[in-house]
């Protein structure tokens, strides 16, 4: 059987194939990126739907699907991968709860919602945010126990929970947070003795408990 292989000549005869291939490659790349930014958008829209009071209409006007989430108020995206890396909703007079979908912001390193009226308990999924370095929930009305998987946030450097109504024991897994520098737990309803595992955190420089 004779087999004619046209491939070596094909590129020469049809030079448009090369740019076409790049275009296809780029389109696939774009599709992958936008698929993931959709996950982030989904997570933030879930948060928006859990905001029951937004007196300055900040999210109501800015968090619109007609613009990229990277341009939404309080949202910062990474310059390389265009995923949400920081969320800062501090002092916006917001009332609401935290949905488990927020844990889908898998590139999040900075989460600051201090000085609002967030309430309810925290979804355990929150500790899936393994890139988190900064977590500030201070001066809200959170209740319930802090997820016992706290120790999974292994990159955490600052944990700020002051002025809430958290109850129960501080998770013993806090001792696993070997990068923790700031720990603000004061003005809560934590019970029991503070876990001795805190003493194992040598990185700790500021502590209010
Ligand atoms: C995008 O999401 C897909 C799954 O939806 C995942 O396999 C892929 O690693 C993600 N890419 C980036 C750059 O996060
Ligand atoms: C977070 O947002 C508040 C109010 O919008 C602003 O004052 C503060 O500087 C922001 N923090 C950072 C680290 O961008
Ligand atoms: C909290 O918000 C109030 C206004 O609502 C502002 O005056 C105060 O400086 C804020 N405190 C912090 C620690 O951001
Ligand atoms: C986001 O999180 C929710 C709840 O944790 C989950 O059901 C959902 O499948 C996740 N993924 C996406 C893409 O929203
Ligand atoms: C707590 O937040 C409220 C606004 O939600 C603000 O009026 C108050 O000054 C804040 N208190 C502290 C101690 O930051
Ligand atoms: C979180 O930590 C628990 C043990 O404390 C472990 O069983 C679980 O697999 C961890 N989850 C993730 C996502 O790392
Ligand atoms: C967390 O700490 C406990 C002991 O406090 C240890 O048994 C466990 O292996 C640690 N987990 C991780 C993921 O480091």
Residue spans of the domains in the chain: they are 19-208
Q: What are phi and psi of 164, to 5 degrees?
A: -135, -160
**44's tokens:** 């933030």
Residues 186 and 160 sit within 8 Å (Cβ to Cβ): no
pTM of the predicted model, to two decimals? Answer: 0.82
Query: Buried (b) or exposed (e) across 156-181, using 16+ Cβ within 10 A?
Result: bbbbbbbbbebeeebbebbbbbeebb
Instruction: Tell me the CA–centroid distance for residue 149 and ligand 1, in Å.
Output: 24
Q: Output the ligand 4 site: residues, CB below 6 A.
A: 39, 42, 100-101, 103-104, 125
Which atom of ligand 6 approaches the CA of 176 most closely?
A: 5
pLDDT digits (tens, 9 = 90+) for 74-97: 999 999 889 999 999 999 999 999
Q: Give the CATH number of domain 19-208; options: 3.80.10.10, 3.40.50.720, 3.40.50.20, 3.40.50.300.
A: 3.80.10.10
pLDDT digits (tens, 9 = 90+) for 148-169: 999 999 999 999 999 999 999 8
Residues 55 and 46 sit within 8 Å (Cβ to Cβ): no
pLDDT digits (tens, 9 = 90+) for 113-148: 999 999 999 999 999 999 999 999 999 999 999 999
């Amino acid at each position: 059987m004779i087999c004619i292989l046209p491939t070596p000549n094909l590129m020469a005869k049809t030079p448009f194939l090369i740019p076409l291939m790049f275009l296809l490659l780029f389109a696939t790349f774009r599709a992958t990126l936008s698929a993931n930014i959709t996950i982030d958008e989904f997570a933030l829209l879930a948060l928006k739907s859990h905001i029951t009071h937004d007196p300055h209409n900040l999210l109501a006007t800015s968090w619109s699907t007609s613009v990229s989430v990277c341009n939404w108020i309080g949202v910062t995206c990474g310059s390389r991968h265009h995923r949400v890396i920081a969320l800062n909703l501090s002092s916006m007079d917001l009332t609401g709860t935290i949905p488990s979908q927020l844990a889908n912001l898998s590139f999040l390193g900075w989460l600051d919602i201090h000085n609002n009226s967030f309430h309810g308990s925290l979804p355990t999924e929150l500790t899936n945010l393994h890139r988190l370095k900064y977590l500030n929930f201070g001066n809200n009305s959170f209740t319930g126990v802090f997820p016992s998987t706290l120790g999974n946030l292994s990159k955490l450097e600052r944990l700020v929970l002051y002025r809430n109504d958290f109850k129960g024991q501080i998770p013993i897994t806090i001792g696993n947070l070997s990068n923790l520098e700031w720990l603000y737990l004061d003005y809560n309803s934590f019970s029991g003795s503070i876990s001795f595992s805190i003493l194992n955190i040598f990185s700790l420089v500021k502590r209010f408990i």
